[in-house]
C-alpha cells in the first residue's frame, strides 16, 4: 500500500468498508531524463514547453510510462484474480485515469475522472495563458484521436463543476 498523503491505515479502513479486496496503485512521475525531458503523469515535455505550466498543451503523451503502468495494473489484476479493474483520480489523477483508460481500454472496467482535464484547452489565451489556436488543436486531437478509445471501457464517469478554478470546466 502507498504510504503517501493517505495513510495505510485509512486505505485499509476503506478496503474493509467496501467488503472487497481493493488494491491501490499510486504511481509517481518519472524523474527528469538525461535529455532534459520532464514528466507529469503520462505527459512529457521540456522545461521550455512547460513554461507557465503549459506542458499539457505543448508536450506529448509519455507512452512508455502509460505502457509500464498499464502492465503493472494488468499484472496486479491477474495476480489477485480481480473481478473488476478501475482507474480513478481527482484533478491530475483524473487526467491520469482518462489517459490510462484511453491508452489501454481493454485493461479497465471502470474509469472515473473527478475534475480531470486533458491535453490542450479551449480556453482563450487571456484566461488560460495557452497559445491559441494551438491549445484548441491539441484539445481536438486529444478528444478525437485519444480519448475516443474510452468508448471501449464499459463504464466511464466524469464529474466536474463550473466553479472549478484549477481545471477548466469548458474543457
Going from the C-alpha of 163 to that of each of 52, 115, 128, 169, the distances in angstroms are 22, 10, 15, 8
Q: Is the pLDDT of residue 2 over 50?
A: no
**What is the tally of helices (H) and strands (E) in the chain?**
6, 6
Confidence of residue 35 (pLDDT cuts 50, 70, 90): confident
Please tell me the predicted confidence (pLDDT) of residue 169.
57
Cα separation, 143 vs 58, whole angstroms = 16
Each residue's pLDDT tens digit, 72-131: 999 999 998 988 999 998 888 888 899 999 999 999 999 999 988 888 888 888 888 888
Please tell me the predicted confidence (pLDDT) of residue 171.
61
SS3 110: strand
Q: How many CB atoms lie within 10 A of CB 111?
A: 26
Sorted by where each begins, the domain ranges of the chain are 8-159
Q: Are 12 and 24 in contact (CB under 8 A)?
A: no
pTM for this predicted structure: 0.81
Q: To the nearest whole number, what is the mean pLDDT of the chain? A: 85
Q: What is the dihedral angle through the alpha carbons of 49, 52, 55, 57, rounded to the nearest 10 degrees?
A: -100
Residue in 47, 87, 56 with CA at minimum distance from that of residue 166: 56
* Overall average pLDDT of the 11-24 stretch: 76
Amino acid at each position: 500500500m502507498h504510504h503517501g498523503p493517505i495513510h495505510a491505515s485509512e486505505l485499509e479502513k476503506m478496503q474493509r468498508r467496501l467488503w472487497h479486496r481493493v488494491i491501490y496503485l499510486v504511481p509517481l512521475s518519472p524523474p527528469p531524463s538525461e535529455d532534459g525531458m520532464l514528466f507529469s503523469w503520462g505527459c512529457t515535455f521540456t522545461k521550455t514547453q512547460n513554461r507557465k505550466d503549459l506542458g499539457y498543451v505543448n508536450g506529448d503523451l509519455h507512452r512508455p510510462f502509460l505502457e509500464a503502468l498499464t502492465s503493472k495494473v494488468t499484472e496486479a489484476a491477474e495476480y489477485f484474480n480481480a473481478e473488476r479493474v478501475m482507474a480513478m483520480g481527482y484533478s491530475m489523477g483524473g487526467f491520469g485515469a482518462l489517459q490510462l483508460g484511453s491508452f489501454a481500454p481493454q485493461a479497465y472496467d471502470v474509469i472515473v475522472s473527478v475534475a480531470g482535464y486533458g491535453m490542450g484547452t479551449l480556453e482563450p489565451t487571456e484566461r488560460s495563458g495557452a497559445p491559441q489556436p494551438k491549445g484548441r488543436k491539441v484539445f481536438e486531437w486529444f478528444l478525437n484521436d485519444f480519448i475516443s478509445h474510452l468508448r471501449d471501457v464499459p463504464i466511464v464517469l466524469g464529474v466536474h463543476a463550473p466553479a472549478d478554478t484549477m481545471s477548466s470546466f469548458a474543457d
